[in-house]
């Protein structure tokens, strides 16, 4: 299973949200120049929340995986 296929699963979606929240928390907690992590954290958070993977097109998959039967 490739990284992109793993990110298309529910577990991958949850992982993107968790990573995003962790980056936001670290950036806010460390302050200073680490505020960049705060901003960058919104990318995986949004990707998980809206169910898309920014890496997918680089590997020949669609940006947004269509879940059949849901």
43 and 50 in contact (C-beta within 8 Å)? no
Write down the pLDDT at residue 26. Answer: 96
| 11-33 pLDDT tens trace | 989 999 999 999 999 999 999 99
Indicate if the pLDDT at residue 4 is higher than 80: no
Distance of alpha carbon 53 from alpha carbon 34, whole angstroms = 24
More confident position, 69 or 16: 16
Average pLDDT over every residue of 53-65: 79
Distance of alpha carbon 47 from alpha carbon 16, whole angstroms = 7
**Percent above pLDDT 90 for the chain:** 53
Is the pTM higher than 0.95? The answer reads no
User: Over the Cα atoms of the chain, what is R_g?
Assistant: 13
């Amino acid at each position: 299973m490739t990284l992109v296929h793993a990110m298309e699963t529910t577990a991958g979606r949850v992982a993107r949200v968790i990573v995003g929240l962790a980056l936001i928390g670290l950036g806010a907690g460390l302050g200073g120049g680490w505020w960049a992590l705060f901003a960058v954290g919104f990318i995986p958070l949004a990707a998980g929340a809206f169910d898309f993977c920014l890496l997918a097109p680089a590997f020949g998959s669609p940006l947004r995986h269509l879940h059949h039967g849901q």
